[in-house]
Chain A
Amino acid sequence: MLTIVQTCTLIGIDGVVIRVEVNLSNGLPGFSIVGLADPSIKEAKERVRVCIQNSGFSFPVKKIVVNLAPASIKKSGTHFDFSIAVGILIASEQIEKTTPRSEAFLAECSLNGDIRGVIGCLPMVLALKSAGVKRIFLSEENWIECLMVKEIELIPVKDLTDFVACYHNKKETEPRSALDKVDQIHYSVLGDFSDIQGQSEAVRAMQIAAAGRHNALMIGGPGVGKTMIAKRMPTIMPLLTEEEQIATMKIHSVAGMPLETIIQGLPPVRMPHHTITKAALVGGGNRVLPGEISLAHHGILFLDELPEFDRHTLELLREPIEEHRIRIARSAHSIEFPSDFILIAAMNPCPCGNYGSKYHPCTCSRRERKRYLDHISGPLRDRLDLFIEMEEPLYTYEPSQKTVTSQELRASVLLARQHQTERYQHEMFHSNAELAGGELSKYCQLSRDSKRLLQQANRKLRISLRSIVRIQRIARTIADLDQEDQIKEAHLLEAIHYKQNSSRYWGDGE
């Protein structure tokens, strides 16, 4: 007796529809699974057997062969359990067969009959949807993360008995609106920019970074508030569009990360520690998983203590910063993960952290400083647009009145983004950070005076030509924040300031 049910598997962050063919035949009783299944699936045999038995069904004493088709794709994951169990129940005629072509099953079975959540559910649901599947049975925990997906019936089930009831339409599924509470945005959990005392310059730079999707580097001693600022970045960024949300959630789902904040539309912030391995940063592993740079897709990648990162690890960032994706090659195939993030990096000005401080003497030698700074290669520096030097704030009795709230900052960021979207509607890109070459001269037209200013900056402040390109981009964003179509001299002057910080540390294209 042959039954075919559908499920899905993951290649990278994309789902591929898998047909689970279950055959029961007379002959020596046994249970085998074929079709390039890895150990996590082989183990399904025992879970499925016990789960069926403990749910009040009988496990057929037959020769059971399960084939996962197409058999040429390597498969892994525990979400095959459910479909295998359903296949066996149908094949042994314990439940009725309905319309297998338009149904799919994604969950893990537990020994007591419960249906459990699996990682990577969202991308699989999306893949099944595009393959024409109409009904998907899944666990309740996965159901919440997949609510974003419209035009498909998602049926949450608690356990196998519950499933059979739902399957035969004997039980009403809860209406979707039951989970509307997630629509509330809880900015408060992220903090607010008004918490930050006395770092107005950095706050301003972060606003520019958020508005034009520029990469930024904060240089400052310990305790000046670098991490605090980075953590609050999502509060000044526009909420994710539905498309972005799904793209980001797919990655987080595959990596088994919590999705709450993304469901609310907040851009993700990733803060990997500097001891991170290459595979964890860019993605990889035996079963290729997305790394931190992909988890930061449409959000913020915050690298604290930038020079402490392994140099070669940092160099890996170059490709994703340019291409907004990372390709992980394996001998058999290569997997591509999107990774379009804003890089916010932070570092101390020197190994001891006191260089440039008014209050504490720096104990580093020139050589030590140079070695420290040299950890960040020129090509990587080149991909950073904004450099902010942060000063140690002094304690004051009364908190400064001059803090700005995230809401104020976000308002102009939103307008600036809108400007960009309109301006670049016919282009392949959508933010100022991506301006280069011909587009740069097209969208960053400068007046005669402005050009003279750049010339002066080039000569007097020794700002390289390459940096001038970057300055124009930042100036474009500053102008957008000011709601100006034309880049003014003041915009350029401000932009020069943020770029100049870099040349004081590293020199610039001499």
Chain B
Amino acid sequence: MKLFIAWLNAKHCPYADLRFLIQHKDILETILADPKHGGYTDVLTKKTNQAIRNYMPDSFKERLEKQLVENETRILLWKDPDYPEGFYEVDDPPPILYLRGKGAFPPQRAMAIVGSRHVTRYGARATERFSSELSVEKITIVSGFAEGIDSIAHRSALQVGETIAVLGGGIDWIYPKSNEGLYYDIAARGTLVTEFPFGEKPFGHHFPFRNRLISGLSEAILFMEGTHKSGALSTIRHGLNQGKEIYALPGDIDRKNSEGPNQLIFDGAEPLLGLEQILAKSGRERTAGETIQSNSLSSLEKLIYNLIAKEPCSVQHLHNLSNQSIHDIVSVLTSLELKSLIHRQGNQFYRTGR
């Protein structure tokens, strides 16, 4: 069945037809028994009927299997147990998903971080901050794998936890090319997901379309930066339709890149002020002072992080408290800083977001 749906998807048949066929397995099986018959013109579109007639199970099977293996990809159908709940709510839910990566899918909890491809330092810093802070809270960061805010969000999330990238083309298309390294990093520790078949080019019109999936996966959407006509705003629109919480990062009024979020705040979105606020809204206390368990941290990193989480510390203070050698402490501090878990002010190291 997956094979057949994939075929129809590759032939760009309307999602409604595909969902209909998945829903009505009997019809699907009848068709599969005799694809050339073509007697469902009344329920299926002309395009679908034609695709069914042209179905070449053997050669397509061979090709698809090869592609699945080569790209380490698995397929998820509408109504499969792993199919994300959120996707049932979106417009025209995708009947088929191509997944790649070792991360959990669907995610337990996820939030989207979106924004423009062009970033300011302010936007980048805030993105890093929220992305890693949310990751610490074991919230998966969803974004669109574009340059700029998206990439920063993915990268920062990967330092601590998991991330999901919703692609605008086939899973075998690494777009933008500059994110190739990130692509494999996500494949190793997160999830790449797309509704588009193999070989599908990342056409411009795909992006606003796939944006509904970004919001569909997430319980909240954080809009970091973008002009008033940013593509990321379409994610927000989808999110509003789906009833998601919208946060926008307040910015300078003369900063072009803050036009979008500021306007959004004016229109009623939550200004993005801090982690506490998000967690409070989503009905959860932050895990303040609580030990973090992320597997990406070594035991020493955890030890130091937890000390800093209790109170801001200086290097000397950590040295006195932890009984670790000074050089170990210093390297762990840099490492945690690289993961945006802590930051430094003067002599003191603070848990980020405090």
B9 at the A/B interface (Cβ < 8 Å)? no
| Chain B hits for A201, CB < 8 A | 315-316, 319, 326, 330
The stretch of A30-38, A149-157, A352-360 that contacts the partner chain: A352-360
| Chain A hits for B346, CB < 8 A | 355-358, 389
Compute how far the CA of A31 lies from the CA of B334 in the bound complex, rounded to whole angstroms: 75
Give chain A's interface residue range (CB within 8 Å of chain B): 20 to 34
Nearest residue, chain A, Cβ from B332 = A493
B200 at the A/B interface (Cβ < 8 Å)? no
Compute how far the CA of A386 lies from the CA of B346 in the bound complex, rounded to whole angstroms: 17
- CB B133 to nearest CB in A, in angstroms, measures 15
B335 at the A/B interface (Cβ < 8 Å)? yes
- CB B149 to nearest CB in A, in angstroms, measures 14
B229 at the A/B interface (Cβ < 8 Å)? no
Assess the A204–B347 pair: CB atoms within 8 A.
no
Given contacts A358-B347, A497-B330, contact A460 B338 (CB under 8 A): yes
Assess the B348–A358 pair: CB atoms within 8 A.
yes
Q: Of A355, A393, A402, A494, which one neighbours B327 at CB under 8 angstroms?
A: A494
Compute how far the CA of A460 lies from the CA of B335 in the bound complex, rounded to whole angstroms: 11
Q: Contact flags (1/0) for A355-368 with B, using CB distance below 8 Å?
A: 11110000000000
- Chain B 144-197 interface residues, beta-carbon cutoff 8 Å to A: none
- Chain B 310-354 interface residues, beta-carbon cutoff 8 Å to A: 314-316, 319-320, 326-328, 330-335, 337-338, 340, 344-348
B128 at the A/B interface (Cβ < 8 Å)? yes
Compute how far the CA of A356 lies from the CA of B315 in the bound complex, rounded to whole angstroms: 14
Assess the B319–A402 pair: CB atoms within 8 A.
yes
Nearest residue, chain A, Cβ from B334 = A493
Assess the A493–B335 pair: CB atoms within 8 A.
yes
State the interface size on chain B (CB cutoff 8 A): 23
A199 at the A/B interface (Cβ < 8 Å)? yes
- Chain A 328-363 interface residues, beta-carbon cutoff 8 Å to B: 355-358
Assess the B335–A200 pair: CB atoms within 8 A.
no
Assess the B327–A453 pair: CB atoms within 8 A.
no
Nearest residue, chain B, Cβ from A457 = B338
Q: Contact flags (1/0) for B122-144 with A, using CB distance below 8 Å?
A: 00000010000000000000000
| Chain B hits for A461, CB < 8 A | 334, 337-338
Assess the B347–A356 pair: CB atoms within 8 A.
yes
Assess the A391–B347 pair: CB atoms within 8 A.
yes
Q: Contact flags (1/0) for B60-96 with A, using CB distance below 8 Å?
A: 0000000000000000000000000000000000000
Given contacts A200-B326, A201-B326, contact A494 B331 (CB under 8 A): yes
A432 at the A/B interface (Cβ < 8 Å)? no
Assess the B347–A389 pair: CB atoms within 8 A.
yes
Compute how far the CA of A283 lies from the CA of B67 in the bound complex, rounded to whole angstroms: 74
Assess the B315–A200 pair: CB atoms within 8 A.
yes
Assess the B326–A490 pair: CB atoms within 8 A.
no
A120 at the A/B interface (Cβ < 8 Å)? no
What are 13 pairs between A and B in contact, CB < 8 Å? A198-B320, A200-B326, A356-B345, A358-B346, A460-B128, A460-B337, A460-B338, A460-B340, A461-B338, A489-B335, A497-B331, A500-B334, A504-B344
